[in-house]
Structure 1
Amino acid sequence: MSTDLERQSEARAPGGWRVLAPFRFREYRLLIAAVSLSIFAEGMWAVVMALQVMELDHDPAALSLVAACLGAGLVGFVLVGGIAADRFPQRAIILVVEAVNLVAVTAVAVLGALDLLRIWHMAVAAGVLGIAAAFFFPAYSAYLPRILPAEQLLAANGVEGVMRPVLQRAVGPAVAGLLVGATFPTLGSATVAVLFALALVLLVATRPVSNGFVVEPARVKTRVLTDLADGVRFMVKTPWLLWTLLFASMFVLVVIGPLEVLLPFIATERFEDGARSYGLVLAAFGMGGALGALGVSSRRLPRRYLTVMMLMWGAGSLPLIVIGWTSSFWLMLVASFLVGVTDGAGMVIWGTLLQRRVPPAMLGRVSSLDFFVSLAFMPVSMAIAGPLSKVVSMQTIFAVAGILPIILALIALTVARMPRDEIAHPLS
């Protein structure tokens, strides 16, 4: 193995696309390959889960229940996941998460094949997958700075920012829609399980990192609540972080439920071959996210990085109005694509911002707080979307989801004085 100095020199070597630079490192190549398979599986699972639930019980309330269990598992354990990421080897956490994903989806596939699958089984599996995700995200965020130098983090986040929407929101849903539409949901579950198994094999092939690019101070054995309190204090005392998370929590409340619960029913009611149409609408979102992420990661971080990020997320929600009202399949595809572009670009900036401006020893906890605060209302949004659609039109729900985020983004920018902060803290 090369020394840290040699590896850093290699990382700074010119040539090639900026976004491809992290692929010079073996551990990153294996990690991103495994993550790519995993997020492809997650993309398929989003459609398989929805169509499987609709086959068992064609009621928005049933899908709300299952989706809410996934969200509750994520939100309920993400703080624990952040503390674990700062206390235990991140590689080991990622391995365990992938094994849990494999077991949960395999159980659904087996029960479906035996014709024993029920809604409560889907709810339990969704909850387990949510808990696993709660441990994955903080561990992955804290692991990247250990295997890559700081100047490669924007590119690495860009790679994930491209892979995630392409595979999770585009290829995965499209493949699942075509597969389930032509066969049955159980075959989709079995395919997802195979993908998780392949990802686990790649993760096992990675080597433990003893000396990464981050020099960590000696850790003191502190209490869990003390660790958590340190992260909360940092969040509260950092206005750009606090107000971005508050914006994200409200964004999730008004947007996630309609997209995850109501969109499958809109697609099946308005278009022929609903499973295929739903998968393609999600695919358009994913392709947009990939292009947005690629565009940001291929260039330098914007000088007005906070302003750009917030306006992308706020104004980028406006096409949701079209999704709620149109009966044109192609217009819905374009609207979904535009939402994806702004979402993908904003997420790359946000991930890099956390890794550059948060102290390394606290990154796992802050990442978990990021997910907890920003996703706290995700299960609520999923739980109420189905029942709410019975008393309020889906068109009205999507109109609110499209308009409210831009108002919330402007409030966050103003109260946290983000334009002043980004000039005072430039990120080259």
Structure 2
Amino acid sequence: MAKKDPYAALRFKEFNIFLVVRFALVFAWSMQFIVIEWQVYALTKDPLSLGIIGLMEIIPALGMALFAGHIVDQREKRNLFAQCIAAFSLISFGLFWLTTSKIEASWSKQTILYCIYALVFFGGILRAFFSPTVFSLVALIVPKKLYPNAATWNSSTWQMARVLGVAFAGFSISWIGVNLSLCIVFGLVVFSFIMVFKLKKKPILNPKIGEPVIQSLKEGVRFVYKTKAILGALTLDMVSVLFGGAVALLAVFAEDILKVGPKGFGILVAAPSVGAFLTMLVTAYIPISKNAGMKLLIAIFGFGISIIVFGMSTSFWLSVGALFFSGVTDGVSMVIRQTILQLKTPDNMRGRVSSVNSMFVGSSNELGAFESGLTAKLMGTATAVVFGGTMTLITVITTGIALPSFRKLDLTKDIEEHEKED
């Protein structure tokens, strides 16, 4: 058996350009999210306001997800990606403008807060298109046999951008302030817009161009429901993210519980991403496709344990360690889930399947943020986090018992079949 090349996908020039664009965008988006969370909490001093940020994003993300997937499957992917980036630049500029000294001096805090929520809402609409566009574009850049390797590097780039984005955001708030931090975000988005045109236009592989929207959406949902490997992975990840949304409350932990200020906040926010990024680098050398179902169950169980430890901790470095371990387990989960999606999804349905994935997992991040903010308001911040971790453990155990076929899921044969096709 030939030795696997851990850098196989990186040998394609366009894939490297794609990773540069993806890195800049995720760095910018992650940085923007943290800066806005800090700004909103500074305006309100209410943890529920952090949950509302998540709610403002999930409403349009859920509402537009399936429609966005249909559009992506009908359109050329490179230009659609560029249009998404252009829209993102308008949102990032708007947030930068709202935090200028002139606006802060002339507008009331409530007005500024409502405007921030409005831009976050529009960002939720945009996210509904971003995810299926990126997912579909990757499949057109590298051959099928390299999907697992491309998924690893794509996820690793995403995590590395999150690591640096959230860490830089935490430090830049104290170094240069909220407004200049958001100016950097805007600059990164403009850079991404310029770089994306170095990618070539891609063919539209959908044989049903012009298919009625409702019929197209039903077909996408039906495919995910019938493909138990995809359905199981998405459901499991959705619930763990929904109840494990401790990250949404890190501003509260940094300010009121651990009392470490903006620098400590940056470390706390970066810790999960550091763990996930390091794990993903390891998976480039040690594939985890064998016994993927059981590995996913174990990873999410470990994620739940780490969230419980974090919620109970009053030590800064123990909290950092717990968050780091949550990132390690989340990294394993992400690589397995992305590999399942790439291997099990036909080319003509990638937009719709990715949109369903966004509804299950991507939107659950925002819903999890709202759930965390609401439960923190009702039962206290630390108790809310412990509750979320406990619900994650219950979900893993229930899934493992109820879906024995998922426990036995192995992706080795799927990878071998794609290698023969190519």
- Structure 2 partner of 1:390: 377
> Structure 2: which amino acid aligns with 1:182?
W
Gap change, CA 1:374 and 1:354, over 3 Å in 2: same
On the 8 A contact 2:279/2:331 being kept in 1, the answer is: yes
On the 8 A contact 1:321/1:395 being kept in 2, the answer is: no
- Structure 2 partner of 1:175: 168
* Aligned counterparts of 2:150 and 2:414: Cα–Cα separation in 1: 20
1:268-287 map, 5 Å: 268-287=255-274
- Structure 2 partner of 1:133: 127
1:86 to 73, 83, 90: 73
1:190 to 169, 175, 183: 183
On the 8 A contact 1:180/1:188 being kept in 2, the answer is: yes
- Structure 1 partner of 2:198: 205
- Structure 2 partner of 1:10: none
- Residue 235 (1) aligns with residue 228 (2): no
* Aligned counterparts of 1:220 and 1:95: Cα–Cα separation in 2: 21
- Structure 2 partner of 1:164: 158
Q: CA deviation at 1:419?
A: 3.2
Gap change, CA 1:305 and 1:381, over 3 Å in 2: closer
On the 8 A contact 1:75/1:375 being kept in 2, the answer is: no
Secondary structure of 1:44's aligned partner: helix
Q: Deviations over 1:307-357 (max 9, x none)?
A: 212221232221111211212111111111100011112111111111111
2:144 to 143, 147, 150: 150
On the 8 A contact 1:157/1:297 being kept in 2, the answer is: no
- Structure 1 partner of 2:242: 253
* Aligned counterparts of 1:46 and 1:303: Cα–Cα separation in 2: 36
- Structure 2 partner of 1:336: 323
> Structure 1: which amino acid aligns with 2:406?
M
Gap change, CA 1:295 and 1:44, over 3 Å in 2: same
Q: TM-score by structure 2 length?
A: 0.90
Q: Which runs of 4+ in 1 moved over 6 A?
A: none
* Aligned counterparts of 1:374 and 1:105: Cα–Cα separation in 2: 24
Aligned pair count?
407
- Residue 226 (1) aligns with residue 215 (2): yes
* Aligned counterparts of 2:209 and 2:86: Cα–Cα separation in 1: 30
* Aligned counterparts of 2:274 and 2:44: Cα–Cα separation in 1: 31
Q: CA deviation at 1:95?
A: 0.8
Q: Deviations over 1:28-69 (max 9, x none)?
A: 121110110111112211210111112222211222222321
1:353-364 map, 5 Å: 353-364=340-351
- Structure 1 partner of 2:251: 264
Residue identity (%): 22
> Structure 2: which amino acid aligns with 1:196?
V
Gap change, CA 1:57 and 1:423, over 3 Å in 2: closer
Q: CA deviation at 1:423?
A: 7.7
1:12-161 map, 5 Å: 18-116=5-103, 118-161=112-155
* Aligned counterparts of 1:97 and 1:423: Cα–Cα separation in 2: 33
Gap change, CA 1:380 and 1:272, over 3 Å in 2: closer
On the 8 A contact 2:301/2:393 being kept in 1, the answer is: yes
Q: CA deviation at 1:137?
A: 0.8
Q: CA deviation at 1:186?
A: 1.0
> Structure 2: which amino acid aligns with 1:163?
T
* Aligned counterparts of 1:398 and 1:254: Cα–Cα separation in 2: 8
- Residue 422 (1) aligns with residue 406 (2): no
Q: CA deviation at 1:273?
A: 4.2
Gap change, CA 1:36 and 1:375, over 3 Å in 2: closer
1:340-355 map, 5 Å: 340-355=327-342
Gap change, CA 1:18 and 1:270, over 3 Å in 2: farther
Gap change, CA 1:144 and 1:110, over 3 Å in 2: same
> Structure 2: which amino acid aligns with 1:184?
G
Q: CA RMSD in A?
A: 2.2
Gaps of 5+ in 1: 1-13
> Structure 2: which amino acid aligns with 1:309?
L
> Structure 1: which amino acid aligns with 2:94?
A
Between 264-273 and 413-422, the greater mean CA deviation after superposition: 413-422
- Structure 2 partner of 1:3: none
> Structure 2: which amino acid aligns with 1:278?
F
Gap change, CA 1:424 and 1:202, over 3 Å in 2: closer
* Aligned counterparts of 1:270 and 1:92: Cα–Cα separation in 2: 46
On the 8 A contact 2:47/2:377 being kept in 1, the answer is: no
> Structure 2: which amino acid aligns with 1:179?
S
